[in-house]
Amino acid sequence: MAVAVGKTILQIAVTMLGLLFVTFIIGRVMPIDPVLAIVGERASQSTYNETYLAMGLDKPLFVQFFIYIGDVLQGDLGKSVLNSRPVAEDIARVFPATLELATIGVIMGIVLGVPLGVIAAVRRGSWIDQVARVVALIGYSMPIFWLGLMGLLIFYGILGWVGGPGRLDIFYVDIVPQVTGMILVDSALAGNWTVFQNAFSHIVLPASLLGYYSLAYISRMTRSFMLEQLSAEYVTTARVKGMSEWNVIWGHAFRNIRVQLITVIALSYAGLLEGSVLTEIIFSWPGIGSYITTALLSADMNAVLGGTVVVGLVFILLNVFSDLLYRVFDPRAK
């Protein structure tokens, strides 16, 4: 156990070191002068030189890299050029919005995608299978920004069934105290169900959009995994012995694809958490994807690189969590 834990920690450290190295190099090769981004183009040469020295850009690159590592380990991702606030504070403010949106989306994808994929595999070639494949194909093919705009037009503009862009109507902003940064959770903790209902009306459409995208991926992979298992000899043997179809499908075949599904779900969740940029922009959702995009368009490299580090860390943690789940569902991994 100690060896396994040591290897996991070493893998995390090496991966994180590689991520920091990549972000450091990106920050140095981008055709943007970090000093000018801070002092402005009208600053005097003396001001430019003082800022250049204060940022440590006169030091060798390997020294700058170790300074960068030390700052990141202390939670210092630099200051935003746009608002002069620490990037870490900005990310802590916007990330819960993405976490809330992505979590609901991936739950929708799992709840609907897994059963759909299993049924499509069991009824291979039937109309259910054809519908499932068409649903997955549309989810892959349709531009997500077009689906978002059409959703806003139909369900918000015409029917009025859902809330508009943003997380809340302006009247409900800052009514409930922020505990987690996720409005649904905070309003539930505060017992303010009016704010909860308003927040839900705003999140249901973008979350459904992400859920549909996740459903398309999860259902397709589930169908593929199940087809492989249903054609195996042990399934034929179980049916010959008179075992019920329910036990054959869910008790045997599905149990053998759980480990593979963990990887698929983790990748889908990470893909949503890294910032569904187009969805967040269309719905004016103040998440990390929108934050990084705004920073990139404004040449705020500290914010861009800080967001990139956080996104990479999310992927690393989800991979570690997947490895832990492997040990739970697959005895051979213990």
Q: What phi and psi values does residue 204 have, to the nearest 5 degrees?
A: -65, -40
99 with 54, same domain: the answer is no
| pLDDT, tens digit, 9 for 90 and up, residues 136-173 | 888 878 888 888 888 888 998 888 888 888 888 888 88
Are residue 172 and residue 291 in the same domain, yes or no? Answer: yes
Same domain, 218 and 106: yes
pLDDT at 330: 67
- Are 174 and 254 in the same domain? yes
pLDDT on residue 110: 93
Residue 169 lies in a domain: yes
Query: Which residue, of 31, 50, 73, is where some domain finishes?
Result: 73
pLDDT tops 70 at residue 331? no
**Best CA proximity match to 90, nearest among 186, 181, 203:** 181
CA–CA dist 137, 155 (Å, integer): 23
Residue 59 tokens read as 């030091």
Say what the pLDDT of residue 70 is. Answer: 83
160 with 49, same domain: the answer is: no
CA 288 – CA 275 distance, rounded (Å): 6
Task: Give the percent of the chain with pLDDT over 90.
Answer: 14
The pLDDT value recorded for residue 103 is 92
Distance CA 314, CA 273 (A): 8
| Residue 80 within a domain | no
Tokens of 268: 């889908």
- Inside any domain, residue 78: no
Of 329, 212, 219, 331, give the one whose Cα is nearest residue 264. Answer: 219
Instruction: Tell me how many domains the chain contains.
Output: 2
Q: How many Å apart are CA 11 and CA 326, to the nearest integer?
A: 17
Q: Are residues 45 and 93 in the same domain?
A: no
Residue 253 lies in a domain: yes
Segment 27-63, tens digit of pLDDT: 777 766 677 766 667 777 777 787 777 767 777 778 8
Does one domain contain both 260 and 304? Answer: yes
Which tens digit of pLDDT belongs to each residue from 182-233? 899 989 998 889 999 999 999 999 999 999 988 988 999 999 999 988 888 8
Q: Do 189 and 145 reside in the same domain of the chain?
A: yes
Instruction: Quote the mean pLDDT of the chain.
Output: 84
Q: Which of 156, 90, 101, 69 is nearest to 304 (CA)?
A: 90
- Do 63 and 95 have their domain in common? no
| Residue 175 is assigned to a structural domain of this protein | yes
From the list 243, 164, 260, 239, the residue with the least C-alpha distance to 206 is 164
Domain carrying residue 298 = 88-333
User: Could you read off the pLDDT of 77-115 as tens digits, one per residue?
Assistant: 888 877 778 888 888 888 999 999 999 999 999 999 999
Query: pTM, whole model, 2 decimals?
Result: 0.84
Do 128 and 31 fall into the same domain? no
Give the angle 307-308-311 at the CA atoms, nearest 5°. 85
**What mean pLDDT do residues 239-251 have?**
85
Average pLDDT of the residues in 298-307: 80
Domain co-membership, 48 together with 187 = no
